[in-house]
Structure 1
């Protein structure tokens, strides 16, 4: 999803990642000996540019082929990676990182402090229109540089020397290591990027990598590519896997059958197959902080109307959706999911503290619907829901279509399902009325959803002064006061979701998958469905 402000991830909640492959007993044994996997993903990759990505296929590729100051270890805890040490100032607002001198790009260039400065400044440069610029709000002048109020060289990042990097924060935060594991904070080889120009990241040949793997054979449009062990990776001795062969397979039934016949070692299960394969050996399920939601194009008269948005947001039965269509997950009545972020003082779940924002409520929905029709001067309205063309996304879109048409008299809904890459571009170009997508967080704090959450064009189109002021207070005035910061974030979410219905929450996801016993060390992101291959061994 490309929204000027956050990763909008888009693919699907339960379907979407990879399928490890082998082809029969003999080939499977050969794959084990070679430490080579064949996998599938449900959606095409859009980019290898860390500044431009906004989909889960691209993010998964980036997280396996790039590395920042920190990475997740096998216990899903952040550990130093591109940096070998860090010093923190007494006020906890300045971090000085010493980079590894043995870290290299895949073209042999050293990874230096200026590569981080270059990449981070690109991230907040309004000219780049990065969908993830809001991730830099905790960094000093992150908001002012992203909005163009200050030049990008005023962002709180500085190369003190070739291998020393200084990062300044607006205020102390407890989740900085988790934040810095994310793809927006990866470096870029400045010399290579400037030489490549606008073509950077559009294909494997136009990208260089500093992570455990490199991407090979991706032309920018094809549906097959490879992750190959990076011979220049500083910790290559810790990487057993030699190669991962990836292909796009959107039909989950095909993947499930391949798993049963021993030709796949891993497959995520979409909603249609959870019940069918629940008793299959290797079945696993995991509640995840992935959200499904609808976003509105506020540049079109109907969807710009707040009463229209509130009517839409309260006119579909979320419980019925998760029970009859998704077969997993739970209803979501706010932008922040449950069991994700907890108050460090009280240990209470943020979602429990914040309560419900927008629930399924036909009486309230129809009242808002009447107000919308009156203000718009129409008795009949038509709207289109844009989704990706994966099975699950289409099913959710069709369910929402059915519910909205049945519950709001005079409303006609059509569903347009297109390939993910096309959907991302359509969203960027405002070629939609309502878009359905999913999103996964990058660190365990409510602000990750409230100031991002995959909400398309949030920076560009949502200018509520109260919301912006509350976010600023949470980041500065109350940065070290846990309870006041918590209460302030709840007010910001209420403004965004309950009062203005800028986004309509739909459900919180759960991940179901099948995994062969011979696959060891396959790690799943603590914040969603992305897989990490760095520690995989085939035995």
Structure 2
């Protein structure tokens, strides 16, 4: 199962509402403490099981793979000391850092990567992120149960030498390797705890700049503490990050205003209220809001119903009156994200609009849906997380859909993110609203994944699969032809089948105190990197 639901719980990009401690920090190392708030619970510390942004942020600050992002958000070698690339650009041989250790003192070895990667693609693991291994040799066939996990294109050539083989050359390999699915795991510890691995801070070991402390799997407070065993610990100034779940954005905004927080994510109406405040920032990011349909249920399996839903809500008004930031999204790939390396053109501009707000077209599809379903009145449930932004977007969609599609009733079910993810995985939904941020800067990341629930299992359109395969193999090195092929695949997915309904592209609005230096935002969304933070 390759379902990735990066539900971030909301608009603007708000997976995280962060802030720094109420006590005044100084430049002395003992005071290098940051206190932050996130708007959703953490679900797991296992790289093979995560599908939410809170867990991703924890992993990206406490684990490290072959590459990481530097202070300029460019991929650089991390767990690997050097790399040699074959002439055909399909085989990468890494020499790992011999001084890299796990937080229990175990060395980080090539086998730790082989073990974790094989586990990721093993169908028995049902990882939400196994589709990330499609570029790795045999990754797709193994995840589909057609080949054994030992055939994956990763091999330990020695204790500290790792070989990675691709299906075809890809231009975004180093960016791909920065992602959490490609982190290693300490096999000894994973085997020790079995299914309990990653369910609490004490049942996980780390090889990154920080370790997680005081998370028991369900509590709403935990810490990131500087890792004394990290190979590059001398470059890490921050001693501790205190984290707590704060779902109410107004609470975080008020704490910032009273100087009890150093950083606060702004959502909905708070943008209007605080946009003239010192320290206000806004940044367009490649986070998308979208609706996915449960195609195992009769109503939502109907293509006319999906097309009606996808075109029946005014995206401009959503952005203007509810989100107060961002822009309408009419395709699964956002703007300003991926560019043709030959022409320099933006993918979204080249691909054009796929599903726009079009009331006339929506009502035509609605009539066809009711006719085929044999119903004059239809009631469906819209599932969202219980964050303020998610609920507000859900309520807006409910109002628009009920107003524009006569005979439609929409019931909203808002539950904690962790529960929403579980419900979506179990097909306990009609339509689900969520947000998603990418893993690497290529259109295929959205088209073949994009947070679209159960895409690999439930959307088996032969033309779509053929086009993705051609883009990955036949046209892998033909940049322009690959671009055109991906556009065709997106049109099949959205225009012809409306498997997903794009809603908006997010913008991150936040308040940041001047004393917090070096706080990085992931180039792919709202995840924060604490490695280079200093409190001045």
Which interval holds the TM-score relative to the shorter structure? over 0.9
- Does 2:293 correspond to 1:296? yes
**Aligned with residue 307 of structure 2, among 305, 310, 334:** 310
Deviating more after overlay: 429-438 vs 5-14: 5-14
Q: In structure 1, how many angstroms separate the alpha carbons of the residues matched to 2:320 and 2:28?
A: 39
What SS does the corresponding residue of 1:6 show, helix, strand or coil? Answer: coil
Pairing 1:179-218 to 2, within 5 Å after superposition = 179-218=176-215
Q: In structure 1, how many angstroms separate the alpha carbons of the residues matched to 2:96 and 2:242?
A: 31
User: Root-mean-square deviation (CA), in Å?
Assistant: 1.1
Q: In structure 2, how many angstroms separate the alpha carbons of the residues matched to 1:384 and 1:281?
A: 41
Match of 1:271 in 2: 268
8 Å CA contact 2:30, 2:239 repeated in 1: no
Change (3 A) 1:496 1:99: same
Match of 2:428 in 1: 431
Deviation string 1:22-51 (CA, Å, 9 cap, x unpaired) is 325xx4449974201111111110000100
Deviation at 1:526, TM superposition (A): 0.5
Pairing 1:411-426 to 2, within 5 Å after superposition = 411-426=408-423
Match of 1:72 in 2: 69
8 Å CA contact 1:49, 1:200 repeated in 2: yes
Match of 2:149 in 1: 152
8 Å CA contact 1:46, 1:220 repeated in 2: yes
Deviation at 1:16, TM superposition (A): 2.7
Deviation at 1:261, TM superposition (A): 1.1
What SS does the corresponding residue of 2:125 show, helix, strand or coil? Answer: coil
Pairing 1:377-416 to 2, within 5 Å after superposition = 377-416=374-413
Q: In structure 1, how many angstroms separate the alpha carbons of the residues matched to 2:129 and 2:22?
A: 39
Match of 2:362 in 1: 365
What SS does the corresponding residue of 2:348 show, helix, strand or coil? Answer: helix
8 Å CA contact 1:8, 1:456 repeated in 2: no
Match of 1:535 in 2: 532
8 Å CA contact 1:285, 1:511 repeated in 2: yes
Q: In structure 2, how many angstroms separate the alpha carbons of the residues matched to 1:12 and 1:311?
A: 23
Match of 1:16 in 2: 15
Match of 2:249 in 1: 252
Q: In structure 1, how many angstroms separate the alpha carbons of the residues matched to 2:270 and 2:256?
A: 13
Deviation string 1:481-511 (CA, Å, 9 cap, x unpaired) is 0000000000111111111111100000000
Q: In structure 1, how many angstroms separate the alpha carbons of the residues matched to 2:404 and 2:11?
A: 26
8 Å CA contact 2:294, 2:431 repeated in 1: yes
Q: In structure 2, how many angstroms separate the alpha carbons of the residues matched to 1:10 and 1:284?
A: 20
- Does 2:228 correspond to 1:227? no
What SS does the corresponding residue of 1:270 show, helix, strand or coil? Answer: coil
Q: In structure 1, how many angstroms separate the alpha carbons of the residues matched to 2:3 and 2:245?
A: 27
8 Å CA contact 2:386, 2:414 repeated in 1: yes
Change (3 A) 1:414 1:31: farther
What SS does the corresponding residue of 1:91 show, helix, strand or coil? Answer: coil
What SS does the corresponding residue of 2:429 show, helix, strand or coil? Answer: coil
What SS does the corresponding residue of 2:410 show, helix, strand or coil? Answer: strand
Q: In structure 2, how many angstroms separate the alpha carbons of the residues matched to 1:23 and 1:98?
A: 43
Pairing 1:74-93 to 2, within 5 Å after superposition = 74-93=71-90
Q: How many residues align?
A: 535
8 Å CA contact 1:6, 1:135 repeated in 2: no
8 Å CA contact 2:209, 2:226 repeated in 1: yes
Deviation at 1:146, TM superposition (A): 1.1
Deviation at 1:448, TM superposition (A): 0.4
Q: In structure 1, how many angstroms separate the alpha carbons of the residues matched to 2:26 and 2:333?
A: 44
8 Å CA contact 1:46, 1:421 repeated in 2: yes
Deviation at 1:460, TM superposition (A): 1.1
Q: In structure 2, how many angstroms separate the alpha carbons of the residues matched to 1:164 and 1:7?
A: 33
Q: In structure 2, how many angstroms separate the alpha carbons of the residues matched to 1:530 and 1:138?
A: 24
- Does 2:459 correspond to 1:470? no
Deviating more after overlay: 88-97 vs 32-41: 32-41
- Does 2:160 correspond to 1:163? yes
Q: In structure 2, how many angstroms separate the alpha carbons of the residues matched to 1:376 and 1:432?
A: 19
Q: In structure 1, how many angstroms separate the alpha carbons of the residues matched to 2:228 and 2:215?
A: 19
What SS does the corresponding residue of 1:214 show, helix, strand or coil? Answer: strand
Gaps of 5+ in 2: none
Return the TM-score normalized by structure 2.
0.98
Q: In structure 2, how many angstroms separate the alpha carbons of the residues matched to 1:31 and 1:13?
A: 37
The runs of at least 4 consecutive aligned structure 1 residues that moved more than 6 Å come to: none
Change (3 A) 1:194 1:216: same
Q: In structure 2, how many angstroms separate the alpha carbons of the residues matched to 1:411 and 1:505?
A: 20
